[in-house]
Structure 1
Amino acid sequence: MSELASTGIEATRRRLTEKQADTVDRLTAAAIDVLSREGYSGTTIRLVAAAAGVGTATAYTYFSSKEHLISEVYWRRLIAAPPLETDDADPAARVVAVLRQVSLLVADEPALASAVSSALLGDDPDVRHLRVRIGTEIRGRLAAALGSTDSESLSMLELLYSGALLQAGMNILSYEQVADLLEISARRLLADRHT
């Protein structure tokens, strides 16, 4: 299982004291447990709060919705996975490594993976904020791997990634299949762009 990262003193809704950060950490950890038992549709802030040992009102102080909470779990997984550092001279190999890393973040936890796909599509303003943060982080990692600021290639790679994860989230493809198809697609895209 991937490690959750504490976001430190800053969360998406407010700055946190050490005690508050601990509460948020407990809520995000409890969310994973509740999701594995109840699935996405059965998961509620109330159940997560109870599993974390905090009041429901306290949980809502930090998370506006279950979608916000689940999106935060994914955000923490992403930032816990350090950017890849590779000496590979081939930009395509570096891009593929990044795509594999981010596409497999929740692959070993089917309930969480499915929930993340649903949650990130939500219209909650806090989810939109996290979507931007997640997108910015992934774009930065792809740009570093690509070694250029070719915005057209970056946009195409982002589209490949988001479309592939949507397919995995809908259970059309496994996350492993997504990672393999992303590799083929990214290599083809980058070869076509540089010929």
Structure 2
Amino acid sequence: MSSDPAVAITAPPAEAPRNRRQEETFRKVLAAGMEMLRESSYADLTVRAVAARAKVAPATAYTYFSSKNHLIAEVYLDLMRQVPYFTDVNDSRLVRVEKTLRSMALMIADEPEFAAACTTALLSSGNDPAVRSVRERIGAEIHRRIRSAMGPDADPRMLSALEMTFFGALVNAGSGAFTYRQIADRLSYVVGLILGEEQ
């Protein structure tokens, strides 16, 4: 085991390319899954029910999503990709990183059922290769946003510490120990400790 605290982020497996029609179908099922997650609980969600809502055949939905956990993971990834980048050089690095972690933490803060479903899907899927692949892409999205906020001269050890802090914060929020809003506030404090900067 290496004593180097920096963790190299390897590129996640590439998504299979989809043509325009396939992308439209994927998006339609994804949107239906997001709607249903916002209206019901994890236990009530099925790929078949989402397919019916999207007005596609169940077999078609299963072409894109191997399980409900895979579908929920893709929904979370889609939301993560909508989180803005904070790269304004007029802001200090501390402010950029705080804004980045805060916006990612608050992404699902106002939707507790949705947040619980995402936590369950992402953490309980064991070795499901489809969910594992999406988890890796989520990690890559989080890495890109933190790296962009840190700037081009980012210390890999600080990047690693910020990523580990963020993932730990999500687990705390997902377990119900803290709300996502409380986690966002605590992240601001920890970012200051890691970066050792003043605002």
| Alignment TM class, shorter chain as reference | 0.7 to 0.9
Residue 40 of structure 1, CA deviation:
0.6
Structure that is richer in helix per residue: 1
Q: Does 1:44 align with 2:46?
A: yes
Matched residue count: 182
Once the two structures are superposed, residues 129-182 of structure 1 have per-residue CA deviations (whole angstroms, 9 ceiling, x without a partner) of 111111112112212222233121111111111111111112221111111000
The list of structure 1 runs, each at least 4 consecutive aligned residues, that deviate by more than 3 angstroms after superposition, is none
Q: Secondary structure at the residue paired with 2:41? A: helix
Structure showing greater relative contact order (alpha-carbon pairs closer than 8 Å, 6 or more residues apart): 2
The whole-number CA distance in structure 1 between the counterparts of 2:91 and 2:181 is 25
The whole-number CA distance in structure 1 between the counterparts of 2:88 and 2:27 is 31
Unaligned residue ranges in structure 1 (runs of 5+)? 1-11
Task: Answer yes or no: is the 8 Å Cα contact 1:28–1:69 preserved in 2.
Answer: yes
Task: Answer yes or no: is the 8 Å Cα contact 1:104–1:179 preserved in 2.
Answer: yes
Task: Answer yes or no: is the 8 Å Cα contact 2:98–2:191 preserved in 1.
Answer: yes
Unaligned residue ranges in structure 2 (runs of 5+)? 1-13
Q: Taking structure 1 as reference, are residues 36 and 13 closer, same or farther at Cα in structure 2, changes over 3 Å only?
A: same
Q: Secondary structure at the residue paired with 1:149? A: coil
Residue 62 of structure 1, CA deviation:
0.5
The residue aligned with 1:102 is 104
Task: Answer yes or no: is the 8 Å Cα contact 1:67–1:124 preserved in 2.
Answer: no
Superposition pairs of residues 33-72 of structure 1, within 5 angstroms: 33-72=35-74
The residue aligned with 1:158 is 163
The whole-number CA distance in structure 2 between the counterparts of 1:13 and 1:141 is 19
Structural RMSD (CA): 1.9
Residue 13 of structure 1, CA deviation:
5.5
Counterpart AA for 1:143: R
Q: Taking structure 1 as reference, are residues 178 and 80 closer, same or farther at Cα in structure 2, changes over 3 Å only?
A: same
